[in-house]
Chains A and B, each alone.
Chain A
Amino acid sequence: MSWTIGGVREALAAKKISARELAGDFYKRIEERNPELNAFLALSPERARRQTDRIDALVAEGRPLPPLAGVPVAIKDVISTRGTTTTCGSKILENYIPPFDATAVERLEAAGAVILGKTNCDEFAMGSSNENSAYGPVKNPNATDRVPGGSSGGSAAAVAAGLAVAALGTDTGGSIRQPGSFCGIPAMMGSYGRVSRYGLIAFASSLDRIGPFATNIKDVAAILQVIAGRDPHDSTSTTAPVPNYQTEIVKPVKGLRLGIPKEYFAEGMDAAVRKKIEAGIEIYKRLGCELVEIRMPHTDYAIAAYYIIATAEASSNLARYDGVRYGLRIEDDSLLAMYRKTRGAGFGPEVKRRIVLGTYVLSAGYYDAYYLKGQKVRSLIAQDFRDAFNKVEAILTPTSPVTAFRLGERTADPLQMYLADIYTVTGSLAGVPGISVPCGKVDGELPVGLQIFGPAFCEARILQLAHAFEQAGGSTV
């Protein structure tokens, strides 16, 4: 049976199942499916038990239940969980046990959610296929010879396979939205600053965002509701108020103007994906939205700017893995040789490639040509979005130019892998919120995702549009 947040709540309140039994059922399913899918890297049954005991006590006492009472959730392994290993999919953190919880995790648990365990991902969230994990790739539950997308592939696969009701992922250049698209579930990145990054192990700090996966938009909204909002531990988390998403998402979408950016529908998109996206756009027409062709002239430069900025920030953030305070150490008599050996042995190929590239674009003599140029182009891309939102209330695009590809099919050529992020990195650079919603399946097997961008802090509007799309049958176009 497939559970939703509302369904769990009703079943608990009606005493049809206890929170402990429900968590037990999920662990059983994980035991059955995970050997094949490799979605989970670690389980936290003791922590889950403490939480289910708390929830079951509330039910027994007839006390009011918190919004996510008893909901089994999974957490991407780049997000810190007190007492449970947090490896970032890397050998360098193989035995790392955080002494604290990320704010998002703490908030989920305070709202009643049950943390089942940690999900696999590309090493330090660097990748688009989950094949860069040091602990092996995740399989796509829709077709197990294919990738689940990345970097939050484990979270997407876990939710799509019914091994968790919802999950947290992180998105730096598409790492929530693209796996959501490949696995056929809704997946959302809020505005930069909407969700605290405290306890999120940093890849690129000006781009990283935590966000939810779930099986339906109402649940995505319920998770975002809990994790959004100002956190004194993250100075970039905003004081902008968090609206009540549940009441916002049911508002009618009739009359909203939706931009269709010409640049996103140029060459490079798989024909079968295009057909589904066009059918998805038709749904909005039927719902009474006004579709407007717009131009976002700097779209084609986004990948280049993104891979300068993201790798530069990564090279700086990953300097902390030095074998001194946590993680792997390869011994040597000299401190500097210990650093070099530890980092050389602990990081995988994609992470090392990005550290080299990121260090290069920041190094003396190249800073202006690469890093500064990238930051300037980032301004132009953000301006494209501001201009667009003067004309339309939201923007519709495909999430990815392709559906889930075969394992191993694209690993030989990093640049080709980067280019597949073309539709997602733009919103990452601009800081705006984006959601991927299921928009049919190619040949009834491989899911397509429709992406909706909104202006900064207009999460409610894109959730509203996603909800209307879902209710109108968008997932089966």
Chain B
Amino acid sequence: MKISREDVLRVAELAYLDLSEAELESYRKQIDEILEYIGKLDELETANVEPMAQVLSDDQTADATLREDLVVPSGVAEDVLKHAPDPEPPYFRVPKVIER
């Protein structure tokens, strides 16, 4: 067994995800099978392989990553707040975080 019930609970906690009892068990089993399958990567010797952290090579992004640092008004704040679950313009309101 690659992943235990406690592992799933711990990960769900990290991801702020409420899982039902039924979800917990079915995910554990399914993810266990997936991890078992993923284990086939161990057949490959990769000690001297660089991880691929970028898709594009440097010459493909030439001039692409740096631009002038200009202030460009986007003017969407009102629209954005209009669709928030609990807006109090210009703020988003959330349940109290700090206890007195």
Interface residues of A, Cβ cutoff 8 Å to B: 95-97, 99-100, 192-193, 206, 230, 232, 235-240, 298, 300-301, 303-305, 307-308, 315, 319, 322-329, 331-336, 338-341, 343-345, 347, 349, 352-353, 355-357, 359-360, 363, 370, 372-380, 382, 414-415, 418, 429, 431, 456-457
- Cβ proximity bits B27-70 to A, threshold 8 Å, 1 near / 0 not: 10011011101101111101001111101100011111101000
CA distance A75 to B74 in the complex (A): 24
Across the interface, A238 reaches (CB within 8 A) one of B30, B34, B56, B84, namely B56
Across the interface, B38 reaches (CB within 8 A) one of A340, A356, A370, namely A370
- Write the chain B residue with the least CB distance to A327: B85
Q: Is the CB of A230 within 8 A of B30?
A: no
Across the interface, B60 reaches (CB within 8 A) one of A238, A298, A414, namely A238
A-B contact pairs, 25 of them (CB 8 A): A95-B83, A206-B55, A230-B64, A236-B55, A236-B61, A238-B56, A239-B64, A303-B37, A324-B84, A326-B80, A335-B95, A338-B94, A340-B18, A352-B19, A352-B27, A353-B30, A356-B17, A360-B31, A378-B51, A378-B52, A380-B44, A380-B49, A414-B30, A415-B33, A456-B60
B86 within 8 A of A: yes
Q: How far is the CB of A129 from chain B (nearest CB, A)?
A: 16
- Cβ proximity bits B75-96 to A, threshold 8 Å, 1 near / 0 not: 0100110011110000010111
B7 within 8 A of A: yes
Most central of A308, A415, A429, A457 by chain B CB within 10 Å:
A415
Q: Is the CB of A359 within 8 A of B11?
A: yes
User: Majority SS of interface residues in chain B?
Assistant: loop
Given known A-B contacts A340-B17, A356-B8, A379-B49, A431 and B55 have beta carbons under 8 A apart: yes
Q: Is the CB of B27 within 8 A of A353?
A: yes
Given known A-B contacts A230-B64, A325-B80, A377 and B85 have beta carbons under 8 A apart: no
Given known A-B contacts A239-B61, A355-B17, A363-B11, A375 and B52 have beta carbons under 8 A apart: yes
CA distance A187 to B76 in the complex (A): 34
Q: Is the CB of A352 within 8 A of B23?
A: yes
Contacts of B19 in A (CB 8 A): 344, 352, 356
CA distance A323 to B84 in the complex (A): 8
Given known A-B contacts A356-B11, A376-B46, A307 and B34 have beta carbons under 8 A apart: yes
Given known A-B contacts A304-B38, A308-B38, A431-B55, A343 and B17 have beta carbons under 8 A apart: yes
Q: Is the CB of B31 within 8 A of A239?
A: no
B71 within 8 A of A: no
Contacts of B40 in A (CB 8 A): 300-301, 304
Given known A-B contacts A235-B64, A345-B18, A356-B15, A328 and B41 have beta carbons under 8 A apart: no
Across the interface, A359 reaches (CB within 8 A) one of B15, B62, B85, namely B15
What 11 new A-B contacts, CB under 8 Å, besides A237-B64, A301-B44?
A206-B55, A235-B64, A239-B63, A240-B60, A300-B40, A301-B40, A345-B18, A353-B30, A376-B51, A376-B52, A377-B41
Q: Is the CB of B83 within 8 A of A326?
A: yes
Most central of A95, A356, A360 by chain B CB within 10 Å:
A356
The 5 closest A-B pairs by CB, nearest first: A344-B18, A375-B51, A99-B79, A329-B85, A431-B55
Q: Is the CB of A99 within 8 A of B83?
A: yes
Contacts of B23 in A (CB 8 A): 349, 352
B1 within 8 A of A: no
Q: Is the CB of A379 within 8 A of B16?
A: no
Contacts of B84 in A (CB 8 A): 324-326
Q: How far is the CB of A377 from chain B (nearest CB, A)?
A: 6
Q: Is the CB of A379 within 8 A of B50?
A: yes
Across the interface, B16 reaches (CB within 8 A) one of A206, A236, A336, A418, namely A336
CA distance A457 to B97 in the complex (A): 49
Q: Is the CB of B55 within 8 A of A193?
A: yes
Q: How far is the CB of A192 from chain B (nearest CB, A)?
A: 4
